[in-house]
Structures are given as C-alpha cells and as structure tokens.
Amino acid sequence: MAYFDAASAAPLHPVAREALAAALDEGWADPARLYREGRRARMLLDAAREAAAEAVGCRPDELSFTPSGTRALHSAVTGAAAGRRRTGRRLVLSAVEHSAVLHAAEAVPEGRVELVGVDRAGRVDAAEFAAALAPDTALAALQSANHEVGTVQPVAEVAAACREAGVPLLVDAAQSLAWGPVEGPWSLLAASAHKWGGPPGVGLLVVRKGTRYAAQEPPDERESGRAPGYPNLPAAVAAAASLRAVRERAAAEGARLSSLVDRIRARVPQLVPDTEVVGHGRLRLPHVVTFSCLYVDGEALLTELDAAGFSVSSGSSCTSDTLTPSHVLRAMGVLSEGNVRVSLPAGTPEAEVERFLDVLPEVVERVRARLGAPTGAPGASVSADSGAAAPDEGLEGLVVDTLGRRCPVPVIELAKVIGEVPVGGLVTVLSDDEAARLDVPAWCGMRGQEYVGERPAPRGTAYVVRRAN
Amino acid sequence: MAYFDAASAAPLHPVAREALAAALDEGWADPARLYREGRRARMLLDAAREAAAEAVGCRPDELSFTPSGTRALHSAVTGAAAGRRRTGRRLVLSAVEHSAVLHAAEAVPEGRVELVGVDRAGRVDAAEFAAALAPDTALAALQSANHEVGTVQPVAEVAAACREAGVPLLVDAAQSLAWGPVEGPWSLLAASAHKWGGPPGVGLLVVRKGTRYAAQEPPDERESGRAPGYPNLPAAVAAAASLRAVRERAAAEGARLSSLVDRIRARVPQLVPDTEVVGHGRLRLPHVVTFSCLYVDGEALLTELDAAGFSVSSGSSCTSDTLTPSHVLRAMGVLSEGNVRVSLPAGTPEAEVERFLDVLPEVVERVRARLGAPTGAPGASVSADSGAAAPDEGLEGLVVDTLGRRCPVPVIELAKVIGEVPVGGLVTVLSDDEAARLDVPAWCGMRGQEYVGERPAPRGTAYVVRRAN
C-alpha cells in the first residue's frame, strides 16, 4: 500500500507519537491550576509554545494553539476583520485559498470579499494582489502554497505590499510550514499539525504584535483569548516536537521528494496520453503534483488506484459533494476531469513512485475503455453510440445532447463527434454538468480546437466549439 | 500524591489510552476520503459516534464530536439561539451555569440573558425556572449538575416544562455524563471527554431531531455542519471507549465515592472549626464536595494542601484572575473565603481521603495562624494589631478600614473587633475587595450576628454589621 495523500493528512510522525504518550502521562491536568500536576502541565505547554514559535519565527506570546487548522483560519479571519472594522469591510483573498478561508471571509458581517485571480499555474501575481489593496481593506489573505496543486505563492512580496498599504496579511501556511518558516512581514499565520505528521486536534494561530485583533468567540482566558476551551495540551506538545523533527530533515527530504515529483511531472504525460500536469513546475511544494486526464471519471480513477494500492485525492467534480470541480482548478482554468493529486509523505520510497508510474497507464486506460472514450487521433470519431443529435431549436452546428450526464461524458461525446463536422464547422455540447464549463474549453486548448463560448440553452448550457483542425 | 480535582480534568482512563493508541494507528487518515485509509477512519468514527450516542441516549446522527466541551457549549448556545431568532432573543439560564454558557449567551447578538437564581445549596427551583420561560424565549439552559459544588439540578422537570412551553433546553452534562444519561425531553446537550477520563481535545454536542439549529461557525460539511475542522478522530474514539468503560462501573464506583464524600461532608466541620460545607447534601454528584473555611486565604490553603500532597481547586477570589469569588458561590450566597473543592477521580483509595482528613485541620490552622485569624470564642478580639479605626465621615459605629487588603482580611478584622462594641452596636467594614460582599454577610450568618447592609463609601464599600450576641 502506498499512501500518497500527505496534503490531506500525514501519518503520525514517530516523534509525535512518543511526545503524545509522554504528554498524556505528564500533561493531562489543567495547566491553569496551581497544584503540581497543573504546574507540570503548564511547563509542558510553555515549552511546546516556545518550540512551535521558534519554528514559525515568532514570539511565543504571539502563538496560540487551536483545535485545528480550520479553526485557526476561522479565528484569524473573523478576529482580524473585526479588529479592523472601523477601517473597512473589504477582504482581499486569492481565488485559490482553502475553503476555510473563503467561508470564514464570506461569514464576516457586512464583509465584501474580493478575489484576486491566478494564472494557469495557480499563482497569484504580486503586483495584481497589491493593486487590489485599498484604504478600506480590512484584511488580506494569501496561502504560502496551494493545497491542491502545490504552487508556491509570492508571500514575501505580497506581505511587503500589504505592510506598505497598512493592511494585515493572513498567511495560511498549512501546506508549507513543515518545509520552513514563511518569509516576509506577514501579520497573521495559521497552520495545522496533522499536515506535518503531528496529531489531529491541533492547529497554530499566530497574531503578530501590533496586529489589531478582536476575538469573535465568546470570551475565554486561555491561549491569549484566541482559542476558547480546555487546551489539547498533549496534542500541542506532540505537534511542536514533530514540527521540530520534520524541520531537521526538511532540506534533505524536500530535495529527495522534489526529484520524485519531477519524475512524475515528466513521465505522466509521456506514459498517459491526453494528460495535463497542472500547477507550477518550479515554484511548488516539494511533495505535491497534480494532473488531469482527459476522458476520465475522477472517482473511478481514485477507486481503481485504491484497488491498485494507491491512496490519492482528486479535485474532479464527481469526487465532491456538490458535483462541482474544485474552486482551485476552476480559478486556474485547467482541465478538471480525471484529476489526481499525489502528495508524498516524508519517507516515501522511490520504488513506490516507480510502481505508481507503472500502474497508472493501465488504470487510466481501463477507466477510459469503460467510458467508451476516444483513443485515436484528435477529433476521430470512434463510437457508433455517439451522442450526436439533430440540430435543436436555435442551437448551432452539430448538437451533442449530454443533459443529465456527468463529467467526463460531455467531453467524451464532443471528442467523438468533432470529426463529423468539416474544419470550420461548429459543434454545440448541451450539458447541465458544472464541470463542462471548465472542461470543454480545456479540451479545446489541449486539442487545438477553437472554443467559441457558452450560452444559456432551454435546458442546461450550450458550449460551442469550432473545429480548427 | 493525591489528585482530588477530577471535576477539572480526570487522568486518562486506561481504556482511553489503549483506544487512542489504536486509533492513532488506524484512524489518522481523513474519514472523508474514499481510499482505504479513509474508509477505515470513517468506520472508526462511525463506531465511536454510535457508542457515544448510546451512552448519551440519542441517535448517532444527532451527535457531533467537537474540539472541547467549551466549544460544544458555545456552538449549542449560539446555534440554537440563531435557529430561534424569529421567536425571540431571550435566553433563560441558571445563575450557576458554567462560564462557557454564560459567556456564549452574553455574546448572542441582541440576546437578553435572564438568570434564574438558586437556593443556598446551589439548586434551581424547577417551578421558578418554568415561570421564567416566555413566548419570546429562544433558549433555556440548565446544567445537569454544578461543576463547583456538585449539586444536581432538576433537569427532567425543567426539560418537561420547556417542552410544554415550546422552548428548547440545553443541558450542560459535563459533570454528570460519566455517571449516567440525562433524563427528560431536553433538546441539546454538551459534554467534555476529559471529565470522564477521555483525552483532552474532544467534546460532545447533541442536537435532538426537530430542534431548530443554525450553526454560527463558517460553513463546513464535517460533523453535520456543527463542528468545523478536521475531526480529532483518535480522541473521539478514545472518548467513546472510555465513556462506555466508566459507565460499566458507574453504579458501584459512584456509591463508593459517594460514601467517601459523605465522610468528608460530615467530618470536615467536626475537624475544622468555622467551616461551612456548601452544596446539596443528598442531590449531588457522587464525587464532589466543597467547603469554605472562615479566616482562610484560598490560595494559601491550596498551596499548603499541594505541599501536603493534595491537588484541589477553589472558588475563592484570590485564586481567580479577576480577584472575584466564583459566580456559583455568589449566586448561592455562601462563604467564599478559604473555599476548597474536592472532586475524587474514579478509583480514589479510601486511605487517601483519610489522610486528607488527617492533614486538613493542621493546614487550615497554619494558614489562619499566619493571617492572625481569631481562634477564640465568637466575637473575641485577639490581636493588638486590630484594624479598628476612628469613625470616618458619615460611617456608623466602629469603622474597620481594610481598603487595599484582600479576602480573608476584611472578615478577620471584623471578627477581631466585633467584641469591642456593645451588643446592639455597629461595626462598619470598609473594603474594596469583591469577596467582602459575599463573605461579610456569610460570616454574620455563621456567627449569629446581624448583617445590616452595604452602602457606597468615599472609597470602597461600607459593610455594616450589628453585634447581636
């Protein structure tokens, strides 16, 4: 079995396990109490805070332990926005922030959220971000690296621009903190221990001195008033110990995993036809690589890979509760069907990556065959069971009705019929699947066909494509 | 060493330790993922939810795991109040709820909090609580048992009255859930695992079907949308396993601890003069007993007991950050100085309780001696260093100026000088210590002197006492 989903949760680090067991013995009492069990717990908590602060690069009294990375982000967004309520209600975020940031920002009373877009590699442009800052901006937020595609953001530049504009910057460092501190004059930072091999149940919230902050949770004196509730002290101790441990090996292990990722990035497109590696090739996390496969159902691909012994995740619409492609892939404008994120835990053996590359082509092939996906030259029609239909009311060219059918069917049907119209002719794909909005244009880009645009149809949406070759 | 503060945090139960270790091995992956590590985690989480729900007496889909009991209470109050926003904004709470309930209620937007008082034993009157319910009551809250004095509340009767009035009742079951389910038609329930020997970092929030609830945290699909963030799955598994384990021995262990508590309740007043046992003698938790000692500094008492090997907590003002006596003792109107809460963890040996009873008299004696407390007959003046002063502007009788001095000094000085005025004469204690408001009348009650009342003074407050014997 190979677990390749470290960006969701890393297995518990041995140092975390050991620290947790010790802290459960020594640190179960309430650190606010004056008796010896309480004093012992307080000492452990103080030491954990110091170790975590050193790894983050902040003062211990700027760091609070929270119940999770999500709660740290929620508190950071709501607390910082409330602290600057008089300045304004605008929140400037990258479009590819974690949903915890986006949801918290949307929940800010009278908040106005402005999203800064990303390029096709998922990267924010620092100048564009800086230009979005205005006098009434209460808070800006930018992740250190993207959780779905691994692209590293220009946080130091954006932090400098925010400092210049007098706007506090929140950095979601969940994906990168294991690899090193976040550079630049940021104001708030959040992270999650189980991303680096710490236990679940603990996150970090850092609020730099001088940052306005008004906690929105009911008052509670623990953790500087920023994380109500009895602290999960053993988890905090284990989190700090394991962060220190992973940092000691971060440079070496990062380089090793990065070369494995390079191998996947280079070989997947060679081994698997009609595949797009997404995310930045160079400015990226060491351990994350994401690609999408045309004509593939993401959920089926995950299931097949699981059966073959590989645990990965996907941003495809069929793997989400809402049946929409991940907002990250949408913001990047890249193919979402057959999407796979590989995130290697520390210590992943090279042989597992090789075995993944061995297995992947047959797995994709199998899923495509089951869906009747085209396998020949671009635009070749391969199936008699084509979805092509007679022109519908007001629709242009050859109309392919895929209403009620989910990703990747609309794109498969498009690929099947494109050869049936002359070069310069139109195909209209009728679809009510959200993924088509992303995947039809992405297919055109990959295939060298011209994407004309979308328009509302009596049922669903009409996506119009002109055959260019 | 004897740890007698189980009501703050119980040491980890061996079953919790074992379940935690197993769940860290088997349940570290994201239970929302489709691959095998995720499915395994999901199975563990489902099983934990079923076991916890069975112990609570609810359906598994009514129960969410939260990061702590505090967070469960915060969510319950804000979520239930928001769900009934259209009905009204009034919140009816007992005056002795946990501060997490009181603070969350005060934080409800436009909420109006109405407190229902308690008797001197700390018990709510069910009829009085029912009478406080009104058509615009959004939510009522009543603890199953008090965390400071152990008094059990009439939850079943109050729940029935709430049901009758169409008002949801939230029960804070943190202190009692180890001993059995909460009876009656309550609507919401909260609890905290580390109170029963589960690990820190996990609480329970139960929202019964049909209860209006609008989560006030940013949206998150986990735990029925009621507890955002990556779940602390290993802790949830350990919490459920240990709850089941403590319940199996609850009847026998409860009876055993209860008889030890009876022993403390009976013998402390015999062994230590000028002591008041507070809380209900019969309608109480099996493991909690609280008493207050006249002329004693709570912090000094805790320190001495710690040195003698006993870890207890206190509701005295000197042990709180705000230098005010616990709101529970205030609501009960009982003496707050020299307050000690003993809460016995499961398995406490009888010999430790005996040793506590052996040690306590000398410890109290030592603290009193250091403070120059009166030791003779009621009203005897024992010290040349009396605080008695000449009558001040407009103040009545003999004036004792204790401005700037903390509990228990004002009461000690009062006791020293009461013999200096004739029967029927007045003593005025000038104090700026919050504890005096509670402790001067309490002293009068214990000493058979007449408490006349308080009035504002040029500095501090004047507490007036008439010598009655």
Residues 400-419 of A with CB under 8 A from B: none
Q: Are A129 and A97 in contact (CB under 8 A)?
A: no
How is residue B151 written in tokens? 């008094």
User: Other C-beta atoms within 10 Å of B293: how many?
Assistant: 27
For tokens 């909420």, the residue is B111
Higher pLDDT, A383 or A356: A356
The DSSP annotation for A43-106 comes to HHHHHHHHHHHHHHTS-GGGEEEES-HHHHHHHHHHHHHHHTTTT--EEEEETTS-HHHHHHHH
Specify the amino acid at residue A463: Y
For tokens 């002591």, the residue is B275
Q: How many CB pairs under 8 A join A and B?
A: 197
Contacts of A232 in chain B (CB under 8 A): 67-68, 199-201, 232, 235
Cβ of residue B6 closer than 8 Å to a chain A Cβ: no
Which domains are assigned to chain A?
8-248 (3.40.640.10), 257-371 (3.90.1150.10), 388-466 (3.30.110.40)
Give which of A449, A469, A461, A362 is closest to A410, Cα–Cα: A461
Tell whether ipTM is more than 0.85: yes
Alpha carbons B338 and A332: distance in angstroms, whole number: 65
Residues 203-222 of A with CB under 8 A from B: 203, 217-221
Alpha carbons B257 and B348: distance in angstroms, whole number: 8
Which positions ≥6 away from A176 have C-beta within 8 Å? A144, A145, A152, A182, A285
Contacts of B301 in chain A (CB under 8 A): none
Given strand B426-431, what is the order of strands in its sheet? B388-389, B398-401, B426-431, B461-466, B450-456
Alpha carbons A401 and A107: distance in angstroms, whole number: 39
Q: What is the pLDDT of residue B70?
A: 97
Residues 75-104 of B with CB under 8 A from A: 77-78, 100, 103-104
Provide the shortest C-alpha distance from residue B122 to chain A (in Å). Answer: 24
Contacts of A343 in chain B (CB under 8 A): none
Contacts of B104 in chain A (CB under 8 A): 218
Cβ of residue A252 closer than 8 Å to a chain B Cβ: no
Specify the amino acid at residue A297: D
**Nearest by CB: A218 against B107, B310, B321:** B107
Asked if A232's CB is within 8 angstroms of B68's CB, the reply is yes
**Nearest by CB: A33 against B36, B100, B313:** B313
Give which of A197, A206, A208 is closest to A235, Cα–Cα: A197
Q: What is the pLDDT of residue A376?
A: 53
Residues 348-407 of B with CB under 8 A from A: none
Q: Strands of A370-410 (E only): list them.
A: 388-389, 398-401
Give which of A182, A287, A179, A147 is closest to A243, Cα–Cα: A179
Alpha carbons B72 and B64: distance in angstroms, whole number: 9
- What is the sign, positive or negative, of the torsion defined by CA atoms of B203, B84, B97, B183? negative
User: Which residues of B are known catalytic residues?
Assistant: 318
Asked if B228's CB is within 8 angstroms of A33's CB, the reply is no
Q: What is the pLDDT of residue A385?
A: 42
Smallest CA–CA distance from B103 into chain A, residue: A218
pLDDT band at A387 (very low <50, low <70, confident <90, very high): very low
| Torsion angles phi and psi, residue B94, rounded to 5 | -75, 155
Smallest CA–CA distance from B318 into chain A, residue: A34
Which positions ≥6 away from A312 have C-beta within 8 Å? A4, A5, A302, A305, A340, A341, A342, A343, B35
Query: Which parts of chain B have pLDDT scores under 50?
Result: 377-387
Disruptive mutation site among A4, A12, A15, A24 for chain B (greatest number of B CBs within 10 Å): A24
Q: What is the pLDDT of residue A240?
A: 98
**Nearest by CB: B311 against A9, A36, A230:** A36
**Nearest by CB: A220 against B38, B67, B70:** B70
Alpha carbons B429 and A240: distance in angstroms, whole number: 52
> Side-chain half-sphere of B31: how many Cα atoms within 13 Å?
25
Which positions ≥6 away from A221 have C-beta within 8 Å? A32, B321
A318 is catalytic: yes
Asked if A37's CB is within 8 angstroms of B3's CB, the reply is yes
Provide the shortest C-alpha distance from residue B337 to chain A (in Å). Answer: 17
Q: What is the pLDDT of residue A200?
A: 95
Cβ of residue B9 closer than 8 Å to a chain A Cβ: yes
> Side-chain half-sphere of B206: how many Cα atoms within 13 Å?
29
Q: What is the pLDDT of residues A74-93, one digit of tens each?
A: 999 999 999 999 999 999 99
Residue A389 has pLDDT above 90, yes or no: no
Asked if A220's CB is within 8 angstroms of B30's CB, the reply is no
Asked if B199's CB is within 8 angstroms of A35's CB, the reply is no
Cα A251–Cα A253–Cα A254 angle in degrees, nearest 5: 65
pLDDT band at A393 (very low <50, low <70, confident <90, very high): low
**Nearest by CB: A230 against B70, B74, B312:** B70
Residue A322 has pLDDT above 90, yes or no: no
**Nearest by CB: A67 against B38, B194, B229:** B229
Cβ of residue B306 closer than 8 Å to a chain A Cβ: yes
How is residue A201 written in tokens? 């149940």
Q: What is the pLDDT of residue B393?
A: 61
Contacts of B232 in chain A (CB under 8 A): 67-68, 199-201, 232, 235
For tokens 């590590």, the residue is B37
Smallest CA–CA distance from B220 into chain A, residue: A100
Asked if B5's CB is within 8 angstroms of A229's CB, the reply is no
SS (H, E, C) chain B: CEECECCCCCCCCHHHHHHHHHHHHHCCCCCCCCCHHHHHHHHHHHHHHHHHHHHHCCCHHHEEEECCHHHHHHHHHHHHHHHCCCCCCEEEEECCCCHHHHHHHHCCCCCEEEEECECCCCCECHHHHHHHCCCCEEEEECCCECCCCCEECCHHHHHHHHHHHCCCEEEECCCCCCCCCCCCCCCEEEEEHHHCCCCCCCEEEEECCCCCCCCCCCCCCHHHHCCCCCCCHHHHHHHHHHHHHHHHCHHHHHHHHHHHHHHHHHHHHHHCCCEEEECCCCCECCCEEEEEECCCCHHHHHHHHHHCCEECECCCHHHCCCCCCCHHHHHHCCCCCCEEEEECCCCCCHHHHHHHHHHHHHHHHHHHHHHCCCCCCCCCCCCCCCCEECCCCCCCCEEEECCCCCCCHHHHHHHHHHHHCCCCCEEEEEECCHHHHHHHHHHHHHHCCEEEEEEECCCCEEEEEECCC
Which positions ≥6 away from B256 have C-beta within 8 Å? none
Task: Read off the pTM.
Answer: 0.94
Give which of A443, A380, A362 is closest to A409, Cα–Cα: A443
Which of A107-116, A310-319, B79-88, B117-126 has the lowest average pLDDT? A310-319
How is residue B314 written in tokens? 């206190």
Q: What is the pLDDT of residue B246?
A: 98
Alpha carbons A204 and A71: distance in angstroms, whole number: 9
Residue A386 has pLDDT above 70, yes or no: no
Q: What is the pLDDT of residues A167-182, one digit of tens each?
A: 999 999 999 999 999 9
Give which of B165, B155, B344 is closest to B259, Cα–Cα: B344
- What is the sign, positive or negative, of the torsion defined by CA atoms of A28, A29, A31, A32? positive
Cβ of residue A106 closer than 8 Å to a chain B Cβ: yes
pLDDT band at A382 (very low <50, low <70, confident <90, very high): very low
Contacts of A20 in chain B (CB under 8 A): 24
Report chain A's C-alpha Rg in angstroms: 24
Which positions ≥6 away from A382 have C-beta within 8 Å? A372, A374, A375, A376, A416
Bridge partners of B450? B466
Give which of B7, B232, B174 is closest to A29, Cα–Cα: B7
